[in-house]
Structure 1
Amino acid sequence: MDQMVLSVVHLCFILGIGFYFITAMQWYSYRLERIFFHYNRYDWHLYFFALPLMGYYFLEGIFLYAFVALFLALLFVWQKKMDKKLVWTARVKRFFLFLVLATLFQDLLCLMLASCFKLGIIIPLAVAQCASMVYEKILFEGFKKEAQHRLMNNPKLKVVAITASYGKTSIKNFLAQILSSQLKVYKTPRSVNTLGGIIKDINESLPDVCDVYIVEAGARMRGDIDEIARLVHPHIAVVGCIGEQHIEYFKTLENIRNTKMEMINSTRLEKAFVHESANIKPTSMILSFGSELSDIEASLQGLSFSMMLDGVKEHFTCKLLGAFNAINIAAAIHVARALGLELPVIKEAVANLQGVEHRLQKIEAGGKLIIDDSYNGNLEGMLSSYDLVATHVGRKVIITPGIVESSEEANAALAQKIDAVFDLVILTGKANVEILDLHVKKAQKIILSDKSKLQETLAEQTHAGDVILFSNDAPNFI
C-alpha cells in the first residue's frame, strides 16, 4: 500500500515539474538553451524546479506527501496568475504522454528490481524531452516538405517576405491593405513569424487561389531568417529598420544586421528593399530606402509625409498615428509599385489605411483618451509615440515595462524621455523596473509587480481629460 501511494505521489509530482518545464519551453519556442541561458525569471526555476526537487529527495513519509501537495497548489496558483498560459497543443499533449510512459516504465522497473531508494524525476523528464524532440523533428520535416511543395508548385503566386528589428508586422498589414485593392492577398496571421508557424500557416491556411503571399519573418539567432528564406524563396524581400531588439541573443548590432540580411537568400529573388540602417551597397536588385522620406508630420489626428519617387516628390496622408509609421508605409509603397500597382491607386489605399491592433490604437472611454501601443517594443517607435502624446494639453499617463530584450542604455534613454513628458508613470514587469525607476525622477511613479491590479490602479489614479498610453507590454514571465 505504501508503495502504491508513493507511486501516485511520484507521478503527480513529476507531472507538476513537467508542467512547469513544458510551459517554459513553450514560452521560449521549445529552445532548451533559451530557458537555460536567456530566461527572464530565474527565480521561478528556483521555486518551481530546484527547491521542489530538493524537497522531494530529502523528505519522507507524510512530510513528503504534504510537500508535494503544497508544491502542486502553489503551481496551480502561479499558472492562474499567468497572462500567457500553457496552450495545450498536440505537441504539449505528446510530451505529457511520453512523460507518463517514461515514468511508469521507470517505476515498474524499480518495483521489479526492488533496488530504488526513491523514484527518480530527472531521468523520466530527460527521456520525455528527448523522445519529444526526436518525434517532433520527424513530424516537422514532413510538414516542411509539404509546405515547400505547396509554394513551389504554384508558379503564379508571388511571395513577399518581410523582416526587421521592429515594424515588420505593421509593414505586413499595411502592404496587405494596399495590395488588396487590386490583388488577392494572403498574409501570415497576427505575429506568426517563426519557421514552424509559417510552415503550419502554409499547410493549413494559404488559399489555393492567391496572387500574393506576404510572410513575416522573425529571428532569435543566426540562421533563423535563412531557414525561412530558403523555405518560401521570396520574389520580393523587405528588410526594415535594424535596431537593438533581441540584442541579448545576438550580442552585437552587426550580428542582427547580418541575420536580417539572410532574407535575400532566395533563388527567386527579383527585388529587395533594405532600410538604410542596414548600410548596404545598392544594386540593380537590392535597393536602399528611407532617405527618400521628408516632410513627416504626425499628430493625434493623423500622419502625412512625402516621398521622392522616380525624381518626383509625392505626398501621402493617412489617419494612422505615429511618425515612425511613415517608414513602414514607405516600405509597403515600394513593394506595391514593384508588383505593378499604379501610384493613384496606392495613394488612395494609403489614405484609407486602418491601424494595426495594439499599435497606436486610439480609444475614447469615460472622457479619457486611451492609446494602445502595447505591441510597440522598440526605442525609436516608443520615443515617437511619446512625442505624439506630448501634444496633448491634459494630464499624461503611461503604463510600460520599458524595452524588453534590449540594453540598459536604451531603457535609460527611454526613462529620461518618459520623465520629460508624463505626469504619472506606472511601471510593470521586473526586467527593467530598476533602471526605469532610477531615471524617472520628476513624474509620479507607481510600480506594479502584479498586473492584475492595473485596472484598479487606473480607476483610482486617472480622470476624465487624461491621455493614457499603454507603451509596450510584456507577459508575466518577462
Structure 2
Amino acid sequence: MSLFLTGLYCITSIIAMVMVLIFHMHMFQLNSYKTKEHTVWIKKNMGSIIGKTIGFYLSIPILLLFGNPGLIIASILNLLTAAGNRPKKAKKPLVYTKRVQRMFITLGMLYGAAAIVTFILYKIVILTALLLPLMGIFSGALILLANTMNKPVETAINQKFIEEARKIIREMPDLKVIGITGSYGKTSVKYFLNKLLSADYNVLMTPGNFNTTLGVVRTIREHLRATHQIFICEMGAKNIGDIKEICDLVEPDYGIITSIGPQHLESFGSVENVIKTKFELAEAVSKDGIVFLNYDNEYIVNKTIQKKYITYGVDNKNADFLPYNLTVSREGSVFSLKTPDGEEKTFSTRLIGKHNVLNIAGAIAVAYQLGVSMETLANQVRRLESVPHRLQLINSGRGLIIDDAYNSNPSGAKAALETLGAFDGIRILVTPGMVELGEKQTELNRIFGQQAAEYCDYIVLVGKKQTEPIQEGVRSKGYPENRLFVVDDLQEGLSKVDAIKSEGKEKIILLENDLPDNY
C-alpha cells in the first residue's frame, strides 16, 4: 500500500471519527454521563448508529480487496461519514465542559496512537483494514472506555468541589435551606417560591435545571454569598440515593415533595423506588424542620413520615392549604385560600390551569410558614410569570399556544388537556408522547390518547413508531381519522396545524412535551 494514500486515509479517518465522537459525546452528556443509561441508549438506537457509521463497515472489505484504490475509496467514505455526522442544530447542544474536554483528550490519545500505528505499519494490510474502521464502528464503546479511564481524575475533582461547597454551607449557620423534589412540579414550585420569599428575604435558588449534586455544588460555589438568607435547592434524581447525596451536602431545614409518579422508571425500576428516593428528602430535613407535602398525590398521601409536615392540594379536602372557588380563563386564574390558623385571602394570577394553582398553593404554604404575610403573598402571586415551557401562554401568528413542552408526565399531561378543554376555539394537540415510563410507558401513552380524544378537535402526533400507543388510544374512542395526523417531526406537525382551517375561530394549540435529542 502507498505511504501517501495511507496517510490520506489516516487523516480522513480521524476527521470522520471526530464527527462521530462529537455525536456520541453529545448523547453521553444527555444521558448524564451514566454508563448504564448510555448503554441502554446504544442498544435502543443501534440501527441509526450503524447507519451513521456505515462508511466504516464498508471500508473493511474495500481495504482488504482493493489495495491502493481501496485507500482512495475508503478516504471518500470517511469524508461522507464526516459529512453525515456533522453537528446539527440541537434542542440542547453539546456543552464543552471541562469534563468533556478531558474525555476528548483521552480519546485523542487513543485514536492518535491507532493512526500512528497504522501509518508506521502501513504495509500490514490487515492492520490498515481493521484498526481504524473498527475504532470508528465502536466509537460509542470507546466513549465509555474514556469515561472509565478518566474516572479517578473526575472523582478527585468532583470531591474537591463538593468539599468546597460543603464548607461554604457550614460557614453560614443562619442560612435556611429549602429542598424541593418531586417527579414533576419541582421547578415550577422553585420559581414560584423564590418570587414569594424574595419580598421579605434575600434568596438564592438553583438556576434552570441545576438539580444534580454537581449542579448544586456549582451554584453554591459560584453564587451563594454571606448576604443570602434562604437557599432554595431543587433536587433531581434518577437513582436511589441521588436525593440523599444532595441532602448530605446542603442539610435542608425544610423540604417540599411536589409529586411522585412513574417517571424515570428505566433507571429507577419501579414506582416504589421513586417513592423511597423522593422521601430521602423528608428523612434528611432537620429535626426542627418541616416537610411540605402535595396531598393530591396518591403516593404521597399514603406515606407516613416521622417529621412535622404541612399539606397542600386542590382536590384533597383534608389539605392544610386548599385553594377553593377556582376560576380559570385565558386571562389567568383566581382562587381563594384559607390558612390552617383561619386567615383567608383571594389570589389572582396570570397563570392558567389547576396544575399551576396547585404549585402556587405549595409555594404559599412554605412562604407563609416562613413569616410572609398573606397580603404580601397576594401581591407577589399577582406578579408571577409562567415558567418557560410549563403551561406557558404564547400569542403567535398561528394561534394561541399553550407551551407545555417540558418533560411531560401522566398527571401533567392530563392537567394540560383539561386546561386546553377550558378554552373556546379549535383545540389542537401536538405531542410526541411521554417517555421514561418503563414498562408502563405503552399503557400510559394509550390512556393519554384516550384523554386527548375527549378534549381535542385535532390531534397531531410526532413520530410514527413512538406514538403508536397514543394512536391506539385515540382510535379506541372512535376519533375521526381525518382529524388525526401522524408526522415525522415537529416542523411537519406545525405545518399540519397551519393547514387546519380556522373556520372563523381561534386556534388553541397545546404543545405537550418536546423530546430531547437522544430520543
For normalisation by structure 2, the TM-score amounts to 0.84
Q: Check 1:316–1:400 CA distance in 2 against 1; reply closer, same or farther (3 A cut).
A: farther
Equivalent of residue 459 in structure 1, options 498, 505, 508: 498
Equivalent of residue 361 in structure 2, options 311, 318, 330: 330
Pairing 1:11-410 to 2, within 5 Å after superposition: 11-38=14-41, 41-48=45-52, 51-60=54-63, 61=70, 62-76=72-86, 79-80=87-88, 82-109=90-117, 117-118=127-128, 119-120=131-132, 121=135, 122=138, 128-266=146-284, 268=286, 270-276=289-295, 277-278=299-300, 279-283=302-306, 285-290=308-313, 291=316, 292=319, 293-295=322-324, 296-312=326-342, 314-319=344-349, 320-366=351-397, 368-375=399-406, 377-406=408-437, 407-410=441-444
In the alignment, the residues of structure 1 paired with residue 394 and residue 118 of structure 2 have an alpha-carbon distance, to the nearest angstrom, of 62
In the alignment, the residues of structure 1 paired with residue 512 and residue 227 of structure 2 have an alpha-carbon distance, to the nearest angstrom, of 39
Mapped contact 2:187–2:209 kept (Cα < 8 A): yes
Shift of 1:399: 1.1
Shift of 1:241: 1.2
Equivalent of residue 468 in structure 2, options 434, 446, 451: 434
Identity of matched residues, %: 28
SS, match of residue 460 in structure 2: strand
Shift of 1:218: 0.9
Q: Check 1:27–1:58 CA distance in 2 against 1; reply closer, same or farther (3 A cut).
A: farther
Equivalent of residue 445 in structure 1, options 481, 484, 507: 484
In the alignment, the residues of structure 2 paired with residue 29 and residue 106 of structure 1 have an alpha-carbon distance, to the nearest angstrom, of 28
Shift of 1:473: 1.5
Q: Check 1:450–1:367 CA distance in 2 against 1; reply closer, same or farther (3 A cut).
A: closer
Which residue identity is paired with 1:219? Answer: A
In the alignment, the residues of structure 2 paired with residue 42 and residue 218 of structure 1 have an alpha-carbon distance, to the nearest angstrom, of 29
- Map Cα deviations across residues 185-233 of structure 1 (whole Å, 9 max, x no partner): 1111112211121111221223342111111111111111111111111
SS, match of residue 177 in structure 2: strand
In the alignment, the residues of structure 2 paired with residue 267 and residue 389 of structure 1 have an alpha-carbon distance, to the nearest angstrom, of 38
For normalisation by structure 1, the TM-score amounts to 0.91
- Map Cα deviations across residues 22-62 of structure 1 (whole Å, 9 max, x no partner): 1110111111210212566443333235x455334443123
After alignment, is 386-395 or 157-166 more displaced?
386-395
Shift of 1:287: 3.8
Mapped contact 1:316–1:350 kept (Cα < 8 A): no
SS, match of residue 397 in structure 1: strand
Q: Check 1:429–1:412 CA distance in 2 against 1; reply closer, same or farther (3 A cut).
A: same
In the alignment, the residues of structure 2 paired with residue 454 and residue 462 of structure 1 have an alpha-carbon distance, to the nearest angstrom, of 15
Mapped contact 1:398–1:469 kept (Cα < 8 A): yes
Which residue identity is paired with 1:237? Answer: G
Which residue identity is paired with 2:157? Answer: L
Q: Check 1:94–1:243 CA distance in 2 against 1; reply closer, same or farther (3 A cut).
A: same
In the alignment, the residues of structure 1 paired with residue 28 and residue 208 of structure 2 have an alpha-carbon distance, to the nearest angstrom, of 21
CA RMSD of the aligned region, Å? 2.6
In the alignment, the residues of structure 1 paired with residue 229 and residue 374 of structure 2 have an alpha-carbon distance, to the nearest angstrom, of 19
Which residue identity is paired with 1:427? Answer: L
Mapped contact 1:102–1:127 kept (Cα < 8 A): no
Shift of 1:111: 5.5
In the alignment, the residues of structure 2 paired with residue 417 and residue 190 of structure 1 have an alpha-carbon distance, to the nearest angstrom, of 30
In the alignment, the residues of structure 2 paired with residue 265 and residue 257 of structure 1 have an alpha-carbon distance, to the nearest angstrom, of 12
After alignment, is 354-363 or 429-438 more displaced?
429-438
In the alignment, the residues of structure 2 paired with residue 367 and residue 96 of structure 1 have an alpha-carbon distance, to the nearest angstrom, of 43
Shift of 1:367: 7.6
Mapped contact 1:280–1:288 kept (Cα < 8 A): no
Q: Check 1:260–1:316 CA distance in 2 against 1; reply closer, same or farther (3 A cut).
A: farther
In the alignment, the residues of structure 1 paired with residue 425 and residue 417 of structure 2 have an alpha-carbon distance, to the nearest angstrom, of 14
In the alignment, the residues of structure 1 paired with residue 270 and residue 166 of structure 2 have an alpha-carbon distance, to the nearest angstrom, of 32
In the alignment, the residues of structure 2 paired with residue 429 and residue 154 of structure 1 have an alpha-carbon distance, to the nearest angstrom, of 50
- Map Cα deviations across residues 388-415 of structure 1 (whole Å, 9 max, x no partner): 2223222111111122222222211111
Mapped contact 1:401–1:428 kept (Cα < 8 A): yes
- Map Cα deviations across residues 1-34 of structure 1 (whole Å, 9 max, x no partner): 2332232133223323322221110111111210
Mapped contact 2:25–2:143 kept (Cα < 8 A): no
In the alignment, the residues of structure 2 paired with residue 47 and residue 390 of structure 1 have an alpha-carbon distance, to the nearest angstrom, of 42
Q: Check 1:52–1:266 CA distance in 2 against 1; reply closer, same or farther (3 A cut).
A: farther
Which residue identity is paired with 1:449? Answer: D
Mapped contact 2:253–2:286 kept (Cα < 8 A): yes
Q: Check 1:190–1:19 CA distance in 2 against 1; reply closer, same or farther (3 A cut).
A: same
Q: Check 1:43–1:209 CA distance in 2 against 1; reply closer, same or farther (3 A cut).
A: farther
- Corresponding pairs, count: 475
Mapped contact 2:335–2:348 kept (Cα < 8 A): no
Q: Check 1:80–1:447 CA distance in 2 against 1; reply closer, same or farther (3 A cut).
A: same
Which residue identity is paired with 1:475? Answer: P
Task: Give the aligned partner of residue 425 of structure 1.
Answer: 459
Q: Check 1:436–1:13 CA distance in 2 against 1; reply closer, same or farther (3 A cut).
A: same
SS, match of residue 324 in structure 1: helix
Shift of 1:259: 0.7
Shift of 1:282: 4.7
In the alignment, the residues of structure 1 paired with residue 88 and residue 398 of structure 2 have an alpha-carbon distance, to the nearest angstrom, of 33
In the alignment, the residues of structure 1 paired with residue 9 and residue 333 of structure 2 have an alpha-carbon distance, to the nearest angstrom, of 66
Task: Give the aligned partner of residue 67 of structure 2.
Answer: none
Q: Check 1:189–1:35 CA distance in 2 against 1; reply closer, same or farther (3 A cut).
A: same
Task: Show structure 1 runs of 5+ residues with no match.
Answer: none
Which residue identity is paired with 1:310? Answer: P
In the alignment, the residues of structure 1 paired with residue 448 and residue 343 of structure 2 have an alpha-carbon distance, to the nearest angstrom, of 34
SS, match of residue 430 in structure 2: strand
Task: Give the aligned partner of residue 66 of structure 2.
Answer: none
Mapped contact 2:211–2:236 kept (Cα < 8 A): yes
SS, match of residue 33 in structure 2: coil
Q: Check 1:220–1:197 CA distance in 2 against 1; reply closer, same or farther (3 A cut).
A: same
